Amino acid sequence: MSRNPGHWFAFRGGDLLVRLEGEVARLPEEELFASREDPLAIGELHGCVCWAVPWDDAAEPPEAMAFRGLRGLWGLLPEEVWRLAGRAVQIVEWDRNHRFCGRCATPTERHPKERSRVCPSCGLQHFPRLSPAVITLIEDGDRMLLARSPHFAPGVYSTLAGFVEPGESLEEAVVREVREEVGVELADVRYFGSQPWPFPNSLMVGFLARYAGGALRLQEDEIEDARWFTADDLPRLPSPMSIARRLVEDFLARTSRPRSPIS
C-alpha cells in the first residue's frame, strides 16, 4: 500500500501511543508503522496525512514510549494534535466494533470511497455514529447553578448535561435533563456552542438558560450535590479542555463583580 509521509495515531483501547519528554508528549515516528496495511486516514496536519491504527491489546509499547489516556494528555500534546487524536480514537473504535454486520452477521468490508463498512451479503452500510448530548449553564441574575456527579474529581462542580433521546429536539433535551436531574424549570434556552467529545463518541451541544422556578430536587443516582454559585464564591471547576469550562467562563465574563481566581 503506497502512502504519503504522515502522522500516526496508534491506540491500545482508548489510550494513545506517545513518546513522553518531560511535560511534552510527541507522536511516534512513522517508521514504526512502515509495514501496516490497514491504516485509517483521519485528516491532515501541517500538510501531512494523519493515520490511525489499533495496537494489539496484549503488545507492549516500544522502548521509551507509553500508552496514555487522552484526558491525561491534555496540555502535553499541541491542542490541534489532541483534537485529531480525539477524532482518531473514535474512528478506530468504530472500525473495530463493526467488523460484522449487525443484521446478518456477515464480515463487513471497508467502503473504498467513503467512511463506512459495508456488508457484502445484505448491503447494509455501517457509518460512524455520534451520540449528541446537551450541556447547559443555568443562570439567575449574578448566580449560576452547578452540580457534581459521584464520578467527578473531589470538589469539582460543573454544568448539567445529558444525552438527547430519539425524537427529541436539543432544546427539549435541555429542559428534560435539567428537570430530571435538579428539578428546576427553565426559560430562554439559547444555543452557546458545540464541542466534539471523544469520551467515548459524543458531540456536546452547549446551551445557556435562565432559571424560571422550582426548588432544587436532586436525582440521587446522577447528582450528589447542586448549588448556586456567584463569581466571588467558586468551587473547583471542570477542565479547561471542556465546553463546560467555556460556559462557566462566559458567565463570569458577563458579570461585573470582582471574582476569585479560577483553577
Q: Are residues 139 and 218 in the same domain?
A: yes
185-221: pLDDT as tens digits: 999 999 999 999 999 899 999 999 999 999 999 999 9
179 vs 5 pLDDT, higher one: 179
Residue at 198 is within a domain: yes
Q: Are residues 206 and 179 in the same domain?
A: yes
Q: Are residues 142 and 190 in the same domain?
A: yes
Q: Are residues 107 and 163 in the same domain?
A: no
Rounded Cα distance, 214 and 178, in Å: 11
As given in the structure block, the three cell numbers for residue 218 are 436532586
Number of H helices, E strands in the chain: 4, 15
Residue 31's pLDDT band (boundaries 50, 70, 90)? confident
Residue at 262 is within a domain: no
Residue 257's pLDDT band (boundaries 50, 70, 90)? low
Residues paired with residue 155 on neighbouring β-strands, in sequence order = none
Q: For residue 4, is pLDDT > 60?
A: no
Rounded Cα distance, 27 and 19, in Å: 6
Sequence-separated (6 or more) residues with CB below 8 Å from residue 161: 133, 134, 135, 136, 177, 204, 244
- Mark which of 97, 114, 145 sits at the end of a domain: 97
Residue at 190 is within a domain: yes
The predicted pLDDT at position 1 comes to 41
233 vs 262 pLDDT, higher one: 233
Query: Which whole number is the average pLDDT over 140-147?
Result: 97
> What is the pTM assigned to this prediction?
0.88
Q: Are residues 113 and 148 in the same domain?
A: no
- Mark which of 109, 128, 147 sits at the end of a domain: 128
Residue at 258 is within a domain: no
Q: For residue 24, is pLDDT > 60?
A: yes
Q: Are residues 138 and 228 in the same domain?
A: yes
43-71: pLDDT as tens digits: 999 889 999 999 998 889 999 999 999 99
- Domain count for the chain: 3
3-state secondary structure at position 50: strand
Rounded Cα distance, 70 and 86, in Å: 7
The proportion of the chain whose per-residue pLDDT surpasses 90, expressed as a percent, equals 86
263 vs 196 pLDDT, higher one: 196
Query: Which whole number is the average pLDDT over 240-249?
Result: 96
- Assign residue 231 the CATH number of its domain: 3.90.79.10
Q: Are residues 107 and 136 in the same domain?
A: no
Residue at 138 is within a domain: yes
Q: Are residues 117 and 157 in the same domain?
A: no
The predicted pLDDT at position 46 comes to 87
3-state secondary structure at position 12: strand
